[in-house]
Amino acid sequence: MNSLPGRSADLLVRYVRPQALRVAVLMVLLLGNIGLQLLNPQFLRTFIDGAGSGAPMRTLVVAALAYLAVAVLSQVSSVFETYMSEQVGWTATNRLRADLTLHCLRLDMAFHKEHSPGELIERIDGDVTALANFFSRFIVYVLGNALLLAGVLVVLFRIDGRVGLVITGIVGLGFLVANALRNLAIPHWMAARQASADLFGFLEERIGGTEDLRSSGATAYVTRLLLARLRRLLRTQRLAGVVGATAWQALNLVLALGLAATFVLGASLYHAGTSIGTIYLVIYYTGMIQQPIDQINRQMQDLQRAAASIARIHQLFGFRSALEDGPGAQFPAGPLAVDVERVTFAYADGEAVLRDLSFSLRPGAVHGVLGRTGSGKTSLSRLLLRLYDPVTGAVRVGGVNLRAARLTDLRERIGIVTQEVQLFHASVRDNLTFFDPTVDDERILDVLHDVGLWEWYETLPAGLATTVASDGLSAGEAQLLSLTRAFLAEPGLVILDEASSRLDPATEAKIERAVDRLLRNRTAIIIAHRLTTVRRADEIMVLDEGRIVEHGPREQLLADPESHFARLLSEQPADGSVPVADGPVGLASNAS
């Protein structure tokens, strides 16, 4: 379903059909309200004609009370109708937000490199919010107001055929004008939604880099960029609003002509002997047609906005991950072997960052990986986690080709600890278990004790239920929490990616003790920034420009004064980091 009607129907069926009972109640309320609106003017005619003809006071009081009772009942019905429509709209949009979020979380890293978190927030929340009215009221209101309009025209025909014909012609002309102008605004609303997404993406990135921007004196520059994006948003939304209002204004003009024609017909009927009450009824019903036509037109305008969001939502659902789940393969229990066979890897539209890479790591061994910035160390860890697939070659963990495994199975068996720790605004328990309620509290407490966080835990006012404030934790505490996550997952392979590169020596020593416990009976790959962190490694691999320039047992390389590893150790700075040197390796010290 690539057309707008097809995409719209697809969303309605998927997210509104499960609420069929609510929609049915909403329809009953709407139809009841329509009947009340058609009935109430009849009491006015009775009152007006009765007052003019000298009817008994009792008749006038009954007509007035009936009019008030129906008016109150109509308002009560409208309140319940609004409540029910909001229930339908919020339920549908929340389910759509959840589905879009899950879909984005399942997409590969290449997608997330191209789309900033701020842009995705706007597309998942902003675009979906624009559909709230579409889900809750569009079909019901269009159908309901069409029935109200038909009822008014039937009543007018029964009063006088000439009036019915004139007003029917006016209504038809109004819809022709509105329909001719309706689709003009859709591309403008799409541009406005994209401008809004770009703004949110810009804000997310700049707010995340507040400290760097302030320290470099770039706040004025960023403010100018922000103003440029705000101006673009203003221009696109203003243009979309003006174009979208054109149909509404044209329709109002047509309806004004219809009301003028009604006054002329009313005067003619009066001179022909028609009662004042009946003429008032004609004018009242003619005025009523503006409400359903206006409502239908507003729904069409909302559909213009919704059409842009529907197109962008389907576009987002249309993105597919380049990483497809394999048929499934069973990973062995315990430590996992690692085999990398002639792997070449490049990011999208870039040069290869790993070239013909091959090595093996036996179960339970610890592998140290060294290299300068850009050598491919972190890219290797991403392949092991299958955040990307190699261009050529194969990666096997526990004897299983990663392309044959299910992603969830793979990532349950591999743990990673990086220098950047992402904490959520949630409880300690949820941060450690990634919101998994099945993890036993006793297990969590045992691991906290093992990693050296027990004293910190005892200071928490609500224990595991304490909400984590990321700015209230030291770098060491955050890193130990990250290690706790890895412990709880009980992986067979652990990847430490520069896990202690930003810590002071005392804190690093505490982390190292926790790492020693973590690596027991597990295979490990340590991507090192400080050479001291690979002292526990059984084997050392040195990368340069995506190739292995040295690989062997640590003790053997250490005993060879001509080895790259021995030279790096002899030249290391006082902090133990990889030194800056003129050789093929050691040119820089950060991960890549």
The verdict on 354 and 405 lying in the same domain is: yes
The alpha carbon of residue 291 and the mean position of all alpha carbons in its chain are separated, in whole angstroms, by 36
Backbone angle region of 495, left / alpha / beta, with phi > 0 → left and psi within -120 to 50 → alpha: beta
Residues 62 and 114 in one domain: yes
Q: Note whether residue 579 is domain-resident.
A: no
> Are residue 177 and residue 284 in the same domain, yes or no?
yes
Closest CA to 410 of 387, 433, 431, 391: 387
Q: Tell whether 150 and 272 lie within a shared domain.
A: yes
pLDDT in tens, 244-282: 777 667 767 777 777 787 778 778 877 877 788 888 778
| Boundary (domain end) residue, out of 318, 351, 371 | 318
Q: Are residues 254 and 198 in the same domain?
A: yes
C-alpha 583/C-alpha 371 separation (Å) is 11
Residue at 546: amino acid letter: G
475 domain residue, yes or no: no
Domain count for the chain: 2
Q: 388: closest CA among 376, 398, 372, 399? A: 376
Whether residue 101 is found in the same domain as residue 130: yes
Return the axis-axis angle of helices 276-288 and 139-159, rounded to nearest 10°. 160
Does the reported pTM lie above 0.75? no
One domain, residues 306 and 348: no
CB 332: neighbour CB atoms within 10 A?
Answer: 14
Q: What is the pLDDT of residues 108-124, one digit of tens each?
A: 888 888 888 878 888 88
Residues contacting 337, CB < 8 A, separation 6+? 360, 361, 362, 363, 396, 397, 398, 399, 523
Question: 488, 514, 490: which is closest to 503 by C-alpha?
Answer: 514
Domain boundary among 318, 346, 376: 318
Confirm whether 92 is domain-assigned.
Answer: yes
569 CB-contact burial (10 Å; exposed 0-12 / middle 13-18 / buried 19+): middle
Residues 352 and 279 in one domain: no
Q: Are residues 297 and 348 in the same domain?
A: no
Predicted confidence pLDDT, tens digits, the chain (592 residues): 556 667 777 887 888 888 889 888 888 888 888 888 888 888 888 888 888 888 888 888 998 899 899 989 988 988 888 888 888 888 988 999 999 999 998 888 888 888 888 788 888 888 888 787 777 777 677 777 788 888 888 888 888 888 888 888 877 887 777 667 666 777 887 788 788 888 888 887 888 788 788 878 888 888 898 999 999 999 998 888 887 777 667 767 777 777 787 778 778 877 877 788 888 778 887 777 777 777 777 777 677 667 778 888 888 888 888 888 888 888 898 899 999 999 999 987 778 999 999 999 999 999 999 887 788 888 898 999 998 899 999 999 999 999 999 888 888 899 888 877 888 888 999 989 988 888 889 999 988 888 888 888 888 888 999 988 766 677 778 888 888 888 888 899 999 887 665 566 666 777 777 888 888 888 999 887 667 677 788 899 988 888 999 999 988 988 888 888 888 777 665 555 554 443 444 333 333 3
Question: How far is the C-alpha of 371 from the C-alpha of 544, rounded, in Å?
Answer: 6
DSSP H stretches of helix in 54-131: 57-106, 109-114, 117-121, 127-129
Say whether both 252 and 342 belong to one domain: no
Domain assignment present for residue 476? The answer is no
CA distances from 501 to 419, 538, 575, 576 (A): 7, 20, 10, 10
The CATH number for 401's domain is 3.40.50.300
To which residue do tokens 């597919």 refer? Answer: 320
CATH number where 204 lies: 1.20.1560.10
Residues 271 and 391 in one domain: no
Range(s) of the domain holding residue 541: 338-420+492-571
217 and 358 fall within a common domain: no
